[in-house]
Amino acid sequence: KAGVTQTPRYLIKTRGQQVTLSCSPISGHRSVSWYQQTPGQGLQFLFEYFSETQRNKGNFPGRFSGRQFSNSRSEMNVSTLELGDSALYLCASSLAGVLGNGNTGELFFGEGSRLTVL
Amino acid sequence: SQQGEEDPQALSIQEGENATMNCSYKTSINNLQWYRQNSGRGLVHLILIRSNEREKHSGRLRVTLDTSKKSSSLLITASRAADTASYFCAPFGGSNYKLTFGKGTLLTVNP
């Protein structure tokens, strides 16, 4: 079974540009979560999608957005990039469905997309 | 917030020694999970302990949970250089669908 795939693995952008990151979850997983990891702030939750609906959102500005497609693949977009957006962006998928229905919250992570903003 | 806080922030030991990391949290939980992250890579799920369990083993890993103190510990026995990584705890409340993470414990195992 293939794991979570994130593309691209590395990218360099300049301030003011926008970026789109892609995440393909494990087959059969319908929940996708996104995290930003920086040395200063650690791992911060961005948002979580299930069946094309955003169910949870972290405390990030509106420049950060995401979506999920009918095949559970997800994308996140960051517009008007700032230097502080340089980070490792991690995607994680899970089986999460209806609460209480065997939902343990266990996450399966991809290897991340390393974004550098110059 | 369901975020766990790991302690210590950094731990350096020699190969063969045991490593103990602690986690504290603030809300009621359904389970608590531990993850490992090698430098610059994605997190890997290590072990999950449910709220009605007190101790769980998996290979060289031993996890304890004390819900009255809202704390957990992860013990890695007979550490190896390959155990060098950051370790995160993640309390899962079950009331929503997100896991949040603290700053982690950076474990360095010296050969």
Give the side-chain half-sphere CA count within 13 A for A12: 1
Task: Please report the pLDDT score of residue A102 as a whole number.
Answer: 64
Q: Does B97 touch chain A (CB under 8 A)?
A: yes
pLDDT at residue A101, as a whole number:
56
How confident is the prediction for chain A on average, in pLDDT?
92
* Structure-derived torsion over alpha carbons of residues B65, B68, B69, B73, reported in degrees to the nearest 10: 0
Whether the CA torsion A91, A94, A96, A97 is positive or negative: it is positive
Per-residue pLDDT tens over the stretch A70-86:
999 999 999 999 999 99
Mean pLDDT on A101-118: 89
pLDDT of A43 strictly over 70: yes
CB burial of residue B75 (10 Å; 0-12, 13-18, 19+): middle
How confident is the prediction for chain B on average, in pLDDT?
94
**The three-state (H, E, C) secondary structure of A12-52, written as one string:** EECCCCCEEEEEECCCCCCEEEEEEEECCCEEEEEEEEECC
The pLDDT score that the predictor gives to residue B111 is 92
* Alpha-carbon gap, residue B104 to B23, rounded angstroms: 9
Please give the pLDDT value at position B27: 87
pLDDT cut 90: percent of chain B above it: 83
* Of A110, A88, A107, the residue nearest A40 (C-alpha): A88
Confidence of residue A99 (pLDDT cuts 50, 70, 90): low
In this prediction, residue B97 has a pLDDT band, given cuts at 50, 70 and 90, of low
The token pair at B73 is 């510990």
Tell whether the torsion through CA atoms of A35, A103, A57 and B27 is positive or negative.
negative
| Contact between chains at B30 and A111 (C-beta distance less than 8 A) | no
Best residue in A43, A45, A53 to probe B by mutation, most B CBs within 10 Å? A43
Per-residue confidence at A40, pLDDT binned at 50, 70, 90? confident
Tell me the per-residue pLDDT of A87-98, one tens digit each, with 9 for 90 and over.
Answer: 999 999 998 665
Best mutation site among B97, B100, B101 for testing chain A: the one with the most A CBs within 10 Å?
A: B97
A25, A1 Cβ separation under 8 angstroms: no
Query: CB-based burial of residue A27 (10 Å sphere; 0-12 exposed, 13-18 middle, 19+ buried)?
Result: exposed
